[in-house]
Structure 1
Amino acid sequence: MPSPTDPSAAPARADAPLAFITGASSGLGQALAARYAQQGWRLALVARRGEVLTDWRRAQGLDAGQCHIYAADVAQPESIRSAAQACLAEQGLPDVVIASAGISHGIDTATWEDLEAMHSIWRTNNLGMAATFIPFIAPMRARGSGTLVGIGSVAGVRGLPGHAGYCASKAAAIAYCESLRGDLRGSGVAVVTINPGFVRTAMTAKNPFSMPFLIEADAFAARAVRAIAAQRSHVVIPWQMAWVARLLRVLPNWLFDRALAGRGRKPRQGEPS
C-alpha cells in the first residue's frame, strides 16, 4: 500500500469523484477508504468513533479538503441521515456510496437475553444499510448516475451454527440489495453487492475456527474497488469463496449439517474469545 508521500497516492482535485463510506474507522471500510484515497478520490467517511477517523486521516497525510469526517451511528437512522445531509451540503452528491458498517457476534438461539443482541445486529447491518442509501437515492436518480454498494457476506448464503443473527442479517442484506437493484433499473443508478469471504480484520480475529482463503484487508479493497468501478451487480471476494458459496447452496441438509458438526462458534456478545 503506497504511503501518503508516494507519487502513486495522488492528491484529490476539487472535481475528483467522491466516495461516501460507513464503518470507515476500521476493517473493510477503512481499507476501502485507503484504496480510494490512493486513487485520488475525495472521501466522506462515517463512523461512530470520529476521533479514530481523525487520527487515521492525519496518519494518511490527508487534509480536510480531501477527507471529511462525519461522526454518526448507522444504527440510529436520524444520525446517519444527518451525516448524509451534511455530506450533500458540504461536499456534494457522492459518486459511490458504500454501506460497510457492520457488527458480528455469536448468538445462542435458546437464550432469551440474546434477542437484544440479534436486534442490535439487524439494526446495524440491515436498517443501517437502508438508512445509508435512502438520502442519496433521489438525488442520484435525478442526476442519472451513481453506485450504491452493499457489503454482504458469504455467511449470508446459509445459516451457520451459533451465527443466527449475523447470517440472517447478511442474507437480508443480499436480498435487500437485489430488490433495490430492480427498483433502480433503468435509472442510471447501479447497485453492487459485495460478499466477502474471510478477510483479516478485528472482526474475524475472534473466530475460533479455520478460515479458508483468508485474505488481507487491502487485497480485498483492491478487488472490491475494481468490481465497483465495473458496476458488477454481485461479486464474491476472494473468487475461491464464490465456489464455496455455490457448493453451500446445493448441499443437501443432511450433508451440510454433518459438515458443520463440531465447528467452533463465534463468541457471544461479552463472552471471551
Structure 2
Amino acid sequence: MDFVVTTLLNALTLISILMLVGLGLAISFGLMNVTNLAHGEFVTVGAFAVYFVQSIGGSFWLGLAAAPIAGAVVGCILEFAIIRHLYSRPVSTVLATWGVSLILQQGLELTFGLGAKPVTPPIEGTLDLFFTVYPAYRLILIAIAMLTLLGVVLLISRTSFGLDIRTVIQNREMAEGVGINTRRTYAIAFTFGAAIAGLAGGLVAPLAIVLPQMGVNYLANAFFVVIVGGVGSIGGLVAGSVFVGGLTSVLNYQISPSLAQAIVLLAAIVAVRLRPNGLFNGASR
C-alpha cells in the first residue's frame, strides 16, 4: 500500500510541476498562438533566482518570491524586443526564440558556471500520510501549484483583464474596435506566462538538478501537455498534465527515464492522432 501511495504522490508532484510550466506555455502558445522555444529558459531563470538568493544568505521563500519576478522581467524584455514584432510570422518566431534560448543558456553558464547548483528546500521533514511517509516540501509544492491554477482560472474568467484576453483571442480587430489596447494585452499576457514559468522553476529547484540547460526537458513536456490536452483549454491543460505526468511517473519506476520519455512521446502522438482537438476540447479559454 505504501508503494502505491508514494507512486501516486510522486505522480501528483510531477503533474503539478508540468501543470505550472504548461500553464505559462498555454498562455503564449495556446492562447496567443506564439511558439516560444525559450519558454523553458523562464523555468531555468526562476530556478537560478532561488539559487542566487540562497547563495547570498536569503531564505528559500524570498528566492521563491524572486523567481516569478525574474521570469517576468526576462519575458517582458523578450516580448518587447522580439516577440511583438513577429506575431504574424510564426516561422521567424520559432527561429528567434530558439536563438534566445541558446543565448540565455550561455549567459547563465558565464554568470554561474557549468556545475549543478544546490538549492535547499525550506522544509526537510516528512509527514505521515495515507500509510506512507512523504517529504513535506513536495506537498507544499502541490498546494502552491493548485492555488496558482485556481488563481489563473479566476483571473481569466472573472476579471476585466481576463475579458480583454479572451476578446483579443477571439477577434483582434473587434477588440481594437471597442478600445482594447491589443499590444499591451499581449505584452502583459506573455509576461504573465513567463512569470508562472519562473514560479515553476523556483518550486522545482530543490527537487531538480539546477543547470543552465534544465529548461529544455520541461519545454518538451510542456508542449506535450498543452497539445495533448487541447490548445487554449485550461481544462485540457489539467488533463494533459495528468496524462503526461502520470504516465511518466509510472514508467520511471519500471524503465529508464530516457526510454520512458520516448514512450510518453509515442503515447502523446497516438493521443493527438485519436483526439486531434485535445483530450478536453471545449473547456473554458
Report the TM-score range of the alignment, normalised by the length of the smaller protein.
under 0.3
Which has the larger strand fraction? 1
Q: TM-score, normalised by structure 1?
A: 0.27
Higher normalized contact order (CA 8 Å, seq sep 6+, divided by chain length): 2
Q: TM-score, normalised by structure 2?
A: 0.26
Which has the larger helix fraction? 2
